[in-house]
Every structure is written in structure tokens, then in C-alpha cells.
């Protein structure tokens, strides 16, 4: 029987709860280096759904695929600590400045290179952009069906998968063929914790770039334990058309960025008198808040 | 050709509010661009639906009516939109930022290689100068949206690719009829030519869709009551104020648990999240679970007899007093000042 292969698409995202002044570059793109980086929350929900499939199908494998800078290898290790088998880091300067479409193109090319896959699972959206576009766009580029807003993978076999979708006003149970692309919402089960045994096993897992900084002992370690190799692909490893990558491959351009200045609110104190409430209602009407 | 298109979302045979809001915005964009407004409706049993759409100033309504097209599934709707857009070449295409629009939009944009901006809060027409290419673009769609957890507001443009696509959340834009007698044209889509059998590989086994009785998400003004309201009877005052201001009544969990209001009005972590233009918190102390569901409201008024209520720390206006005394005054002076 052939192996059931799952790819989990994950993104390392800046923790948008802590955006400082120096987080934006002059060209309007985000300076991710200036922010703490975390595993995108809904991608963790997606990983959990993949792990449940793996629990159910003997021999199933999970590969975490991410596109990002060198340090995005951190989330591949994080995935391994929770039960993923291996990971692929898609990293190249040529990918910088990609919008969702250019990102989806690059990811779809990496999946093509990966080869046969039975299920592609990712979070519905990432907290830095909240667009929810990459999942469906990857599906379209691979000519696979998509099921979005999935809360639970209810059952799966080699041909079909049954899913529960959580919509604004209810739920939907759908049956989709294998392979399909599934995007998982934050209302799905939280991801299981790291496993101590897996931390021990994978803590030295590294990409080729990371290994170049390691010493001789490590080299023998990676030869003895091939599972510690995190695959690293640049544009040279995936078949891509350069003009479809990065800024040139992005139909959308950022014209302008305005910072929202957050400050502690200084509430206006109003007495419950006729005169004060009259002034308040006038002010709300004049500012078009009401009326 | 090159018109503004709006995808009309259908739920249980009825047109979604967000679609009317987009038609209204689409009409004003079309006016500025000097082009026509067209709508696309895809579903089943749509006989006569165009009559509800024309009054928003719609010049052409495209209808794809086929039993297999409802309820919504991704692939057949994508095929129809993609084929239609290839033929009609819209310059702008708008969809609701709903589970349907956010499922369909990216798939369509990928197939057409056109830019899509999700969850826009504002759409404008403007120009753009590309200094590098020494090129000036006129009449672009400015797609304005918050990003980065609401820490920035970005203006996105698609200079070269068409259509310029955007999704907009329900309740963000106003819905307004252009003219009850507006004359548009009906164009029936030949569904069999647009879809193929592979588009139906996903089957819906079960659906539990509850009709929303209360639509808090779409209300521009929310008058919310807490445990401090004291009784279900006192909530009547909130309904009166909401009615006058064109808003909806919401409640905190404590008020719902006390039986003052129905569960579908609950705002907060275990209820609905709302971002109205104005949130009037009446007799609500403002526990963190409640604040999580409303703190993004544009303006917050807290009416409370307790000066130290946590809600006051996120309020723009704090009225110290008894709710049952303040609300009649608000109604009175709203009526006196509004034209």
C-alpha cells in the first residue's frame, strides 16, 4: 500500500500584537525582522487536523512546507516537535515582496516538485494579512478542489475525505475527493503540545544553510540521522518562471501605508444633564456617527 | 465591456445584504468611471430575481440558473465567473468578504491572474504614478484595508491586471436604492457551456444554516445592555433607542444569562464580535470577555452609575448616571438635533 502523504502549509508570522515603530520599510512592505516571529495560529489548527489523519492512517506522513527567510525553519522544527515527519523551507530573495498570488505560485511549484500528495492542509488565513487567499489560490494553481473554513476532518480514506465546515451562520458537511486542499479555521481543535521525545529527536534538525554554520561533529550526525535534514529549496530547485515571483509576479501593489496610532483613550466625561446630553447628541450627528 | 461587476450572494433564495451594499458602492464607482454596473447571480430557482437588483442602478444582470448551482460550491461558481469575466473583461469586480466570497474570490483571481484585496473597508477611484516606469495610471481602484492586526491601513492598487478585485465585509458599506424604476437588462447564462462534470466533485451531505434573526454584525449602531439594566422590561428602553438611531440591541453574557435578552444578541468572546460605528454600553461593567467582542467599535459610549467600571477605560464617552434616566434624554435630543 502506498504511503498517505500530507503537506501542511505553514507560515511564520510576525506577532501582530507587538508591532513597533520600526516594523515598516520605506517601500511599504513589512520589516518582519523587527518583530517576534510565531507559528501562524490557524496553521497550528491545520497541523492538528493533519496529525489526526496520521493517527488514523498507518504510515501516513506529514511534511511541513513553508516559504520565508532562513529563520522560518523554526516553525518546521516546531511542527516536528508536535508530530510532523519532515519539512521543506522554500527560501530565496527572489520570493521577497510577493503578494498572495506570487506566493501561491511559488508554493504550488514546490508542491509539484514534492510529487504525489494526498492532502494539503493549511490555516484559513495568517494573522499578518488576514487575506485567506493563499489556500484557494494554491488549489487553483494545482487544479485541485478546495474546501475552506474546515473545522474538522471527520473521516478520510484513500479516495475521499469528509469535512465539517464552520460558516458564519451554521455548519456544512461536505465530501471531497483525495487529493484536495483544505483550509482550517481557528474554531477547530487546538494543536497538541510538543512531545518531549520528539523534541529530543528533532532538536538538531537543520537546513543546509544552518548546517554550514555547524561544526564537523554535526556533519557526521546528519549523515547518521537523515531525518535531521530539513529540505531547503531555492528558485534553483523548483521550476519557476522568474517573472511570476516576488514584486514582478504580484498584481497587487502597495500604494500607501498609514500607521494607526494607538493611544490610551481619554474618555470624555459627560454628566447626565439635559445640556450635556444635548451637546453629545449634536456632536455624534455632526461627526456622522449617527443620523 | 470593462464595466464594474458585483457577485450576488444567495442564501436560501434570498440576496445577502452585503450584495446590496456592494451594488450601492459599485453604482457610485461606475458613475465615477463613466461605465455600467453589472451583477452576476448564480444559483437555483432564480426566476424574477433581477427585479430586486435593477433598483440599485444595475444595467445588466447575468443569471446562471441551474439546480446544481445551489447551495454554493466552489468549482462551478468559479467556472461561471471565470468564463464570464474572460468574455466581459470587467475593470472592477466586487464580492462580499463572507465565507463564500473569501472562498470564490481567490480562486477566481488565481485563474484570471488578477489582483485581489481581501476585506476592504473603503474603495475609491484615484490615479497612480509609477515613477520607475514613468507611467501614470488614471482611474484605478484604491482598495483600502487594515492589515497587520489593525496596526496599519494599506491602500492597495492593481495597476496592470484586470479585473481589479476586492472583497468587502458585510455592514461596512451602506445599501441604497438608486431608483425604483431603474431599467436594466437580463442576460441568461448558458450554464451547460460554462461548467463541466469535474466541477461537481465536491458534494454537500448536510447543511445546518440558521437564519439569523438578529444581524448584529451589520448594525452601524449597537445599543447593548448588561446585568445593570436590572430587568427584561428595562431592555424596552434600549430597543426604543436602537430603533431611533437605526441600530440593533445587544447584550452582555450576564444579561443573557439573567434572561433579559435572547442568546443571539450576546456580544463577547462566546457571542458575536461587532465593530459598529457606535456602541452604547448600558449598565455593562465591561469584563474582558465582553470587551473582546466590541472593543474595535469606532466609538464607545458607556452609561454607568459606577465610575470605576472597566468599560470606562475603553470608552470615548462616559456618562455617569442611571441608564433609565439617560436613555430618554438621548432619544429626545437626537430627535431635536437630527434633520
Residues A125-139 have pLDDT tens digits of 998 888 999 999 999
State the average pLDDT over residues B98-120: 96
H-run or E-run covering B242: helix B235-245
Q: How far apart are CA B231 and CA B255, in angstroms?
A: 9
Nearest CB neighbour to B205, from listed A19, A173, A274: A173
Report yes or no: A162 at the B interface, CB cutoff 8 Å. Answer: yes
Lowest model confidence (mean pLDDT) among A14-28, A155-169, A242-256, B92-106 = A14-28
Q: Which residue of A has its CA nearest to B332?
A: A278
Give the residue among A180, A153, A177, A143 at the shortest CA–CA distance from A45.
Answer: A153
Q: How far is B183 from chain A (nearest CA, A)?
A: 30
State the average pLDDT over residues B77-93: 98
Question: The domain B4-200 belongs to what CATH superfamily?
Answer: HUPs (3.40.50.620)
Report yes or no: A18 at the B interface, CB cutoff 8 Å. Answer: no
Question: Within a domain: residue A285?
Answer: no
Q: Which of B93, B317, B338 to mutate to test the interface with A (most CBs of A within 10 A)?
A: B317
pLDDT of residue B270: 64
Q: Mind listing the pLDDT tens digit for each residue in A50-100?
A: 999 999 999 999 999 999 999 999 999 999 999 999 999 999 999 999 999
Q: How far apart are CA A85 and CA B130, in angstroms?
A: 46
B153 and A16: CB-CB below 8 Å?
Answer: no
pLDDT of residue A36: 84
- Only one residue has cell 465615477, namely B32
Name the maximum alpha-carbon separation found in chain A: 82
State the average pLDDT over residues B228-246: 94
State the average pLDDT over residues A22-34: 64
What domain range is A84 assigned to?
5-249
Q: How far apart are CA A268 and CA A166, in angstroms?
A: 40
Q: Mind listing the pLDDT tens digit for each residue in B277-319?
A: 999 999 999 887 788 789 889 899 999 998 888 899 899 999 9
Question: In chain B, positions 28-67, which contact chain A (CB-CB < 8 Å)?
Answer: none
Set of chain A residues whose Cβ sits within 8 Å of the Cβ of B211: 169
State the average pLDDT over residues A146-167: 96
CB A207 within 8 A of CB A89: yes
pLDDT of residue B149: 63
A285 and B334: CB-CB below 8 Å?
Answer: yes
- Only one residue has cell 498609514, namely A258
Higher pLDDT, residue A269 or B288: A269
Architecture of domain B216-337: 3-Layer(aba) Sandwich (3.40)
Q: How confident is the model at residue B321 (pLDDT cuts 50, 70, 90)?
A: very high
Set of chain A residues whose Cβ sits within 8 Å of the Cβ of B336: 278, 281
Gyration radius of chain A over CA positions: 23
Q: What is the dihedral of CA A134, A138, A144, A145, to 10 degrees?
A: 10
- Percent pLDDT > 70 in chain B is 97
pLDDT of residue A263: 47
CATH number of the domain to which A44 belongs? 3.40.50.620
Report yes or no: A9 at the B interface, CB cutoff 8 Å. Answer: no
Q: Which of B116, B216, B283 to mutate to test the interface with A (most CBs of A within 10 A)?
A: B116
Q: What sign does the CA torsion over B12, B16, B20, B22 have?
A: negative
Q: Which residue of A has its CA nearest to B324?
A: A272
pLDDT of residue A218: 73
Q: Which residue of B has its CA nearest to A136?
A: B107
Set of chain A residues whose Cβ sits within 8 Å of the Cβ of B317: 267-268, 270, 280
Higher pLDDT, residue B16 or B269: B16
Give the residue among B176, B139, B145 at the shortest CA–CA distance from B35.
Answer: B139
A172 and B103: CB-CB below 8 Å?
Answer: no
- Percent pLDDT > 90 in chain B is 73
The three-point CA angle B165-B96-A12 to 5° equals 70
H-run or E-run covering A51: helix A41-56
pLDDT of residue A32: 61
Q: Mind listing the pLDDT tens digit for each residue in B7-48?
A: 999 987 899 989 999 999 999 999 999 999 999 999 999 999
Residues contacting residue B94 through CB under 8 Å, at least 6 positions apart: B4, B5, B6, B7, B22, B25, B26, B123, B165, B166, B167, B168
pLDDT of residue B147: 78
Question: Within a domain: residue A289?
Answer: no
What ipTM was reported for this prediction? 0.87
B212 and A169: CB-CB below 8 Å?
Answer: yes
Question: Within a domain: residue A185?
Answer: yes
Q: How many other CB atoms sit within 10 Å of the CB of residue B16?
A: 18
Q: Which residue of B has its CA nearest to A30?
A: B148
Domain residues of chain B, as ranges? 4-200, 216-337
The pLDDT of residue A17 is above 80:
no
The pLDDT of residue A21 is above 70:
no
Q: Mind listing the pLDDT tens digit for each residue in A254-264?
A: 998 887 654 44
Same fold across B4-200 and B216-337:
yes
State the average pLDDT over residues A13-37: 67
B106 and A145: CB-CB below 8 Å?
Answer: no
Question: Within a domain: residue A271?
Answer: no
Q: Mind listing the pLDDT tens digit for each residue in B153-209?
A: 899 999 999 999 999 987 778 889 999 999 999 999 999 999 999 999 999 999 988
CB B167 within 8 A of CB B118: yes
Amino acid at each position: 500500500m502506498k504511503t498517505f502523504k500530507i503537506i501542511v502549509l505553514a507560515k511564520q508570522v510576525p506577532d501582530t500584537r507587538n508591532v513597533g515603530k520600526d516594523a515598516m520599510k520605506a517601500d511599504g512592505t513589512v520589516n518582519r525582522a523587527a518583530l517576534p516571529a510565531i507559528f501562524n495560529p490557524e496553521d497550528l489548527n491545520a497541523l492538528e487536523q493533519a496529525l489526526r489523519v496520521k493517527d488514523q492512517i498507518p504510515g501516513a506522513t506529514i511534511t511541513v512546507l513553508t516559504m520565508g527567510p532562513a529563520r522560518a525553519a523554526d516553525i518546521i522544527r516546531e511542527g516536528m516537535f508536535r508530530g510532523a515527519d519532515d519539512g521543506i523551507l522554500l527560501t530565496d530573495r527572489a520570493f521577497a515582496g510577493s503578494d498572495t498570488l506570487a506566493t501561491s505560485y511559488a508554493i504550488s511549484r514546490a508542491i509539484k516538485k514534492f510529487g504525489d500528495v494526498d492532502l494539503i492542509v493549511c490555516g484559513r488565513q495568517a494573522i499578518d494579512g488576514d487575506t485567506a487567499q493563499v489556500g484557494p489560490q494554491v488549489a487553483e494553481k494545482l487544479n485541485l478542489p478546495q474546501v475552506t473554513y474546515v473545522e474538522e476532518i471527520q473521516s478520510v480514506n484513500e479516495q475521499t475525505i469528509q469535512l465539517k465546515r464552520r460558516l458564519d451562520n451554521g455548519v456544512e458537511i461536505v465530501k471531497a475527493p483525495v487529493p484536495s486542499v483544505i483550509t482550517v479555521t481557528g474554531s477547530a481543535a487546538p494543536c497538541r503540545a510538543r512531545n518531549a521525545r520528539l523534541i529530543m529527536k528533532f532538536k538538531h534538525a537543520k537546513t543546509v544553510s544552518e548546517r554550514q554554520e555547524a561544526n564537523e561533529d554535526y556533519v557526521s550526525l546528519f549523515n547518521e540521522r537523515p531525518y535531521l535534514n530539513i529540505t531547503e529549496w531555492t528558485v534553483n530547485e523548483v521550476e519557476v518562471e522568474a517573472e511570476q515571483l516576488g514584486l514582478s509576479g504580484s498584481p497587487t501593489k502597495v500604494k500607501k501605508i498609514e500607521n494607526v496610532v494607538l493611544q490610551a483613550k481619554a474618555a470624555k466625561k459627560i454628566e447626565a444633564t439635559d445640556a450635556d446630553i444635548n451637546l453629545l447628541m449634536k456632536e455624534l450627528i455632526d461627526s456622522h456617527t449617527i443620523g | 465591456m470593462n464595466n464594474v461587476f458585483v457577485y450576488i450572494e444567495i442564501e436560501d433564495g434570498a440576496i445577502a445584504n452585503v450584495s446590496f451594499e456592494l451594488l450601492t458602492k459599485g453604482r457610485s464607482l461606475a458613475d465615477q468611471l463613466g461605465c455600467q454596473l453589472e451583477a452576476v447571480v448564480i444559483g437555483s430557482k432564480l426566476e424574477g430575481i433581477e427585479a430586486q437588483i435593477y433598483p440599485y442602478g444595475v444595467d445588466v444582470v447575468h443569471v446562471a440558473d441551474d439546480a446544481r448551482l445551489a447551495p454554493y460550491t466552489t468549482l462551478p461558481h468559479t467556472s461561471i465567473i471565470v468564463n464570464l469575466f474572460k468574455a466581459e473583461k470587467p475593470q472592477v469586480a466586487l464580492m462580499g468578504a463572507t465565507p463564500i466570497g473569501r472562498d470564490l474570490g481567490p480562486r477566481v483571481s488565481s485563474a484570471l491572474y488578477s489582483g485581489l484585496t481581501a476585506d476592504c473597508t473603503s474603495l475609491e477611484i484615484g490615479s497612480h504614478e509609477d515613477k520607475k516606469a514613468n507611467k501614470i495610471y488614471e482611474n484605478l481602484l484604491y482598495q483600502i484595508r487594515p492589515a497587520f492586526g489593525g496596526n496599519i491601513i494599506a491602500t492597495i492598487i492593481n495597476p496592470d491586471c484586470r479585473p481589479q478585485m476586492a472583497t468587502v465585509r458585510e455592514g461596512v458599506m451602506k445599501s441604497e436604492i438608486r431608483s425604483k424604476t431603474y431599467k436594466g437588462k437580463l442576460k441568461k447564462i448558458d450554464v451547460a457551456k460554462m461548467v463541466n462534470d469535474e466541477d461537481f466533485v465536491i458534494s454537500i451531505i448536510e447543511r445546518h444554516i440558521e437564519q439569523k434573526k438578529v444581524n448584529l454584525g451589520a448594525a452601524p449602531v449597537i445599543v447593548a445592555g448588561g446585568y445593570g439594566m436590572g430587568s427584561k422590561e428595562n431592555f424596552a428602553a434600549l430597543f426604543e433607542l436602537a430603533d431611533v438611531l437605526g441600530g440593533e440591541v445587544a447584550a452582555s453574557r450576564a444579561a443573557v444569562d439573567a434572561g433579559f435578552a435572547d442568546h443571539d444578541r450576546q456580544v463577547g468572546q462566546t457571542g458575536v464580535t461587532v465593530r459598529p460605528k457606535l456602541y452604547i454600553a448600558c449598565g455593562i461593567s465591561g469584563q474582558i470577555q465582553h470587551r473582546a467582542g466590541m472593543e474595535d467599535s469606532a466609538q464607545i459610549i458607556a452609561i454607568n452609575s459606577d465610575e470605576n467600571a472597566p468599560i470606562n477605560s475603553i470608552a470615548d464617552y462616559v456618562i455617569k448616571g442611571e441608564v433609565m434616566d439617560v436613555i430618554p434624554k438621548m432619544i429626545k435630543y437626537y430627535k431635536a438635533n437630527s434633520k
